[in-house]
Protein backbone atom coordinates (compact mmCIF):
# COMPACT_ATOMS: atom_id res chain seq x y z
CA UNK A 1 0.00 0.00 0.00
CA UNK A 2 1.05 3.60 -0.56
CA UNK A 3 1.45 6.37 1.96
CA UNK A 4 -1.73 7.37 3.74
CA UNK A 5 -2.99 10.94 3.24
CA UNK A 6 -1.52 13.76 5.30
CA UNK A 7 -4.82 14.39 7.11
CA UNK A 8 -4.30 11.19 9.13
CA UNK A 9 -1.37 12.73 11.07
CA UNK A 10 -1.86 16.45 10.44
CA UNK A 11 -3.52 17.32 13.77
CA UNK A 12 -1.91 17.17 17.20
CA UNK A 13 -3.44 14.28 19.15
CA UNK A 14 -2.25 13.76 22.70
CA UNK A 15 1.28 12.85 23.63
CA UNK A 16 3.55 11.31 20.98
CA UNK A 17 4.92 8.02 22.32
CA UNK A 18 8.07 8.04 20.24
CA UNK A 19 10.89 7.69 22.74
CA UNK A 20 14.10 6.25 21.27
CA UNK A 21 17.01 5.68 23.62
CA UNK A 22 20.50 5.00 22.29
CA UNK A 23 22.09 4.48 25.69
CA UNK A 24 19.35 2.13 26.91
CA UNK A 25 17.67 0.49 23.90
CA UNK A 26 15.42 -1.62 26.16
CA UNK A 27 13.77 1.58 27.40
CA UNK A 28 12.75 2.64 23.88
CA UNK A 29 9.06 2.79 23.06
CA UNK A 30 9.78 2.57 19.33
CA UNK A 31 12.33 0.13 17.96
CA UNK A 32 13.70 0.12 14.42
CA UNK A 33 12.69 3.67 13.51
CA UNK A 34 13.44 4.62 9.87
CA UNK A 35 15.91 7.38 9.02
CA UNK A 36 14.57 10.82 8.03
CA UNK A 37 14.13 11.33 4.30
CA UNK A 38 15.48 14.89 4.32
CA UNK A 39 18.72 14.70 2.36
CA UNK A 40 20.16 18.15 3.11
CA UNK A 41 19.47 20.88 5.65
CA UNK A 42 21.74 23.73 4.50
CA UNK A 43 21.82 24.89 0.87
CA UNK A 44 23.30 27.77 -1.07
CA UNK A 45 26.14 29.94 0.25
CA UNK A 46 26.54 30.94 3.89
CA UNK A 47 27.67 34.55 3.65
CA UNK A 48 26.57 38.11 4.52
CA UNK A 49 23.09 38.99 3.24
CA UNK A 50 20.57 41.81 3.72
CA UNK A 51 17.24 40.06 4.43
CA UNK A 52 16.20 37.00 6.44
CA UNK A 53 12.84 35.33 5.73
CA UNK A 54 11.06 32.74 7.91
CA UNK A 55 8.21 30.59 6.60
CA UNK A 56 5.91 29.89 9.57
CA UNK A 57 2.53 28.06 9.78
CA UNK A 58 -0.57 29.85 10.99
CA UNK A 59 -1.67 26.88 13.16
CA UNK A 60 0.20 24.04 14.80
CA UNK A 61 0.79 21.08 12.49
CA UNK A 62 2.46 17.73 12.12
CA UNK A 63 4.43 17.35 8.89
CA UNK A 64 5.84 14.16 7.38
CA UNK A 65 9.50 14.01 6.45
CA UNK A 66 8.67 13.19 2.81
CA UNK A 67 6.51 16.32 2.50
CA UNK A 68 9.27 18.49 3.99
CA UNK A 69 11.75 16.94 1.56
CA UNK A 70 9.43 17.59 -1.41
CA UNK A 71 8.99 21.23 -0.34
CA UNK A 72 12.75 21.61 0.09
CA UNK A 73 13.46 20.31 -3.39
CA UNK A 74 10.82 22.56 -4.97
CA UNK A 75 12.25 25.68 -3.34
CA UNK A 76 15.91 24.78 -3.78
CA UNK A 77 15.61 23.96 -7.49
CA UNK A 78 13.93 27.29 -8.23
CA UNK A 79 16.50 29.25 -6.21
CA UNK A 80 19.44 27.50 -7.88
CA UNK A 81 17.95 28.21 -11.30
CA UNK A 82 17.22 31.91 -10.69
CA UNK A 83 19.76 33.07 -8.08
CA UNK A 84 22.61 30.59 -8.69
CA UNK A 85 24.63 30.75 -5.42
CA UNK A 86 23.36 34.11 -4.11
CA UNK A 87 21.10 32.67 -1.40
CA UNK A 88 21.16 30.60 1.77
CA UNK A 89 18.30 28.19 2.41
CA UNK A 90 17.89 26.11 5.55
CA UNK A 91 15.45 23.45 6.81
CA UNK A 92 14.67 24.25 10.44
CA UNK A 93 12.09 21.59 11.41
CA UNK A 94 13.62 18.18 12.13
CA UNK A 95 11.37 15.07 12.02
CA UNK A 96 12.04 13.65 15.49
CA UNK A 97 8.76 11.78 15.95
CA UNK A 98 7.97 8.37 14.48
CA UNK A 99 4.81 7.61 12.50
CA UNK A 100 3.26 4.24 13.44
CA UNK A 101 0.61 2.51 11.37
CA UNK A 102 -1.27 -0.77 11.52
CA UNK A 103 -0.86 -3.04 8.53
CA UNK A 104 -3.86 -3.27 6.23
CA UNK A 105 -4.82 -5.64 3.46
CA UNK A 106 -4.51 -4.35 -0.08
CA UNK A 107 -7.84 -5.65 -1.37
CA UNK A 108 -11.20 -3.95 -1.84
CA UNK A 109 -13.21 -3.50 1.34
CA UNK A 110 -10.37 -4.67 3.58
CA UNK A 111 -9.86 -3.32 7.06
CA UNK A 112 -6.85 -3.12 9.34
CA UNK A 113 -5.48 -6.35 10.73
CA UNK A 114 -6.29 -6.55 14.44
CA UNK A 115 -4.06 -8.48 16.84
CA UNK A 116 -5.69 -7.49 20.10
CA UNK A 117 -3.29 -6.02 22.63
CA UNK A 118 -0.26 -7.43 20.80
CA UNK A 119 1.56 -4.71 18.82
CA UNK A 120 -1.22 -2.26 19.61
CA UNK A 121 0.80 0.79 18.59
CA UNK A 122 1.54 -0.44 15.08
CA UNK A 123 4.84 -0.57 13.20
CA UNK A 124 7.11 2.40 12.38
CA UNK A 125 6.40 3.67 8.87
CA UNK A 126 8.15 7.04 8.74
CA UNK A 127 9.04 10.25 10.56
CA UNK A 128 7.26 13.52 11.24
CA UNK A 129 7.91 16.91 12.79
CA UNK A 130 5.68 18.79 15.21
CA UNK A 131 5.60 22.49 14.36
CA UNK A 132 3.91 25.13 16.53
CA UNK A 133 2.18 28.21 15.16
CA UNK A 134 4.85 30.82 14.45
CA UNK A 135 7.76 28.36 14.44
CA UNK A 136 9.81 28.47 11.21
CA UNK A 137 9.78 25.47 8.91
CA UNK A 138 12.24 27.04 6.44
CA UNK A 139 14.70 29.91 6.89
CA UNK A 140 16.36 31.80 4.03
CA UNK A 141 18.71 34.76 3.58
CA UNK A 142 18.95 36.80 0.37
CA UNK A 143 19.68 40.29 -0.92
CA UNK A 144 16.87 42.83 -1.17
CA UNK A 145 16.77 42.67 -4.95
CA UNK A 146 16.26 38.87 -4.83
CA UNK A 147 13.24 38.94 -2.50
CA UNK A 148 10.62 38.33 -5.28
CA UNK A 149 12.48 35.18 -6.40
CA UNK A 150 12.57 33.89 -2.82
CA UNK A 151 8.84 34.52 -2.38
CA UNK A 152 8.10 32.52 -5.52
CA UNK A 153 10.31 29.65 -4.30
CA UNK A 154 8.56 29.53 -0.93
CA UNK A 155 5.16 29.74 -2.63
CA UNK A 156 6.04 26.60 -4.59
CA UNK A 157 7.16 24.84 -1.43
CA UNK A 158 3.88 25.66 0.33
CA UNK A 159 2.02 23.50 -2.18
CA UNK A 160 3.80 20.42 -0.84
CA UNK A 161 2.87 21.03 2.80
CA UNK A 162 -0.37 20.97 4.80
CA UNK A 163 -1.85 24.14 6.25
CA UNK A 164 -1.46 27.86 5.53
CA UNK A 165 1.81 29.74 5.95
CA UNK A 166 3.05 33.29 6.36
CA UNK A 167 6.38 34.95 5.63
CA UNK A 168 8.23 36.95 8.28
CA UNK A 169 10.80 39.28 6.67
CA UNK A 170 13.56 40.85 8.77
CA UNK A 171 16.28 43.31 7.82
CA UNK A 172 19.66 41.97 8.98
CA UNK A 173 22.03 44.55 7.47
CA UNK A 174 23.11 45.70 10.95
CA UNK A 175 22.65 42.37 12.74
CA UNK A 176 25.84 41.44 14.67
CA UNK A 177 25.71 37.76 13.66
CA UNK A 178 25.27 38.68 10.02
CA UNK A 179 28.19 41.12 10.11
CA UNK A 180 30.46 38.38 11.45
CA UNK A 181 29.90 36.31 8.32
CA UNK A 182 32.30 36.56 5.41
CA UNK A 183 31.42 38.59 2.32
CA UNK A 184 32.48 35.78 -0.02
CA UNK A 185 30.96 33.07 2.13
CA UNK A 186 31.19 29.29 2.11
CA UNK A 187 29.29 27.25 -0.44
CA UNK A 188 27.32 24.30 0.91
CA UNK A 189 28.20 21.01 -0.77
CA UNK A 190 25.50 18.71 -2.02
CA UNK A 191 25.42 15.13 -0.85
CA UNK A 192 25.68 14.03 -4.48
CA UNK A 193 29.01 15.88 -4.72
CA UNK A 194 30.39 14.24 -1.58
CA UNK A 195 29.72 10.64 -2.69
CA UNK A 196 32.20 10.50 -5.62
CA UNK A 197 34.98 11.83 -3.36
CA UNK A 198 34.32 9.16 -0.74
CA UNK A 199 34.06 6.38 -3.33
CA UNK A 200 37.31 7.50 -4.99
CA UNK A 201 39.11 7.44 -1.65
CA UNK A 202 37.82 3.91 -0.96
CA UNK A 203 38.96 2.62 -4.35
CA UNK A 204 42.42 4.14 -3.91
CA UNK A 205 42.74 2.64 -0.44
CA UNK A 206 41.64 -0.75 -1.72
CA UNK A 207 43.91 -0.70 -4.77
CA UNK A 208 47.18 -0.46 -2.81
CA UNK A 209 46.99 -3.83 -1.01
CA UNK A 210 45.73 -5.49 -4.18
CA UNK A 211 48.83 -4.37 -6.11
CA UNK A 212 51.06 -5.38 -3.22
CA UNK A 213 49.44 -8.80 -3.08
CA UNK A 214 49.88 -9.26 -6.82
CA UNK A 215 53.51 -8.16 -6.62
CA UNK A 216 54.09 -10.60 -3.79
CA UNK A 217 52.77 -13.48 -5.87
CA UNK A 218 55.10 -12.59 -8.72
CA UNK A 219 58.11 -12.51 -6.40
CA UNK A 220 57.16 -15.82 -4.84
CA UNK A 221 56.76 -17.42 -8.27
CA UNK A 222 60.38 -16.66 -9.30
CA UNK A 223 62.95 -19.32 -8.42
CA UNK A 224 65.58 -18.29 -5.90
CA UNK A 225 69.19 -19.26 -6.68
CA UNK A 226 71.44 -20.24 -3.79
CA UNK A 227 75.18 -19.58 -3.74
CA UNK A 228 77.36 -22.61 -4.20
CA UNK A 229 74.66 -24.77 -5.80
CA UNK A 230 74.10 -23.71 -9.43
CA UNK A 231 70.90 -24.75 -11.09
CA UNK A 232 71.10 -27.75 -13.41
CA UNK A 233 69.91 -27.33 -16.96
CA UNK A 234 68.31 -30.25 -18.79
Degrees to nearest 5, angle at CA 97 with 93 and 100: 140
Does 123 map to a domain? yes
pLDDT of residue 102: 75
pLDDT of residue 123: 80
From 89, 98, 84, 110, select the one nearest 35 (Cα to Cα).
98
- Strands 88-91, 138-142: pairing is antiparallel
What CATH number is attached to the domain comprising 61?
A: 3.90.1170.10
Does 37 map to a domain? yes
Does 60 map to a domain? yes
Alpha helices, H only, 98-190:
147-158, 176-180
Does 104 map to a domain? no
Residue numbers of the domain that contains 125: 7-99+119-179
pLDDT of residue 133: 94
pLDDT of residue 43: 94
From 149, 136, 139, 141, select the one nearest 179 (Cα to Cα).
141
pLDDT of residue 21: 78
pLDDT of residue 215: 45
From 137, 128, 155, 118, select the one nearest 9 (Cα to Cα).
128
Does 130 map to a domain? yes
The number of distinct structural domains making up the chain is 1
CB 57 within 8 A of CB 165: yes
Does 52 map to a domain? yes
Does 69 map to a domain? yes
Does 82 map to a domain? yes
The pLDDT tens digits along the chain (234 residues) read: 578 888 888 998 877 767 777 788 887 777 778 889 999 999 999 999 999 999 999 999 999 999 999 999 999 999 999 998 899 999 999 998 888 887 766 666 555 565 566 656 678 888 999 999 999 999 999 999 999 999 999 999 999 999 999 999 999 999 999 999 988 888 888 766 665 555 666 666 565 454 444 444 444 455 555 555 454 444
pLDDT of residue 188: 84
Amino acid sequence: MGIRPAKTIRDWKGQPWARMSQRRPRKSFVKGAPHPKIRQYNMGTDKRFELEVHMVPDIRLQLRDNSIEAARQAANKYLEKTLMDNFFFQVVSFPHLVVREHTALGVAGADRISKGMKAAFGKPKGRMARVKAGEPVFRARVMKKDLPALKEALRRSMRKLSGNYSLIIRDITVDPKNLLRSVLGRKMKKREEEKPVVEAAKTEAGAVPAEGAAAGKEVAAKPVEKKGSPMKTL
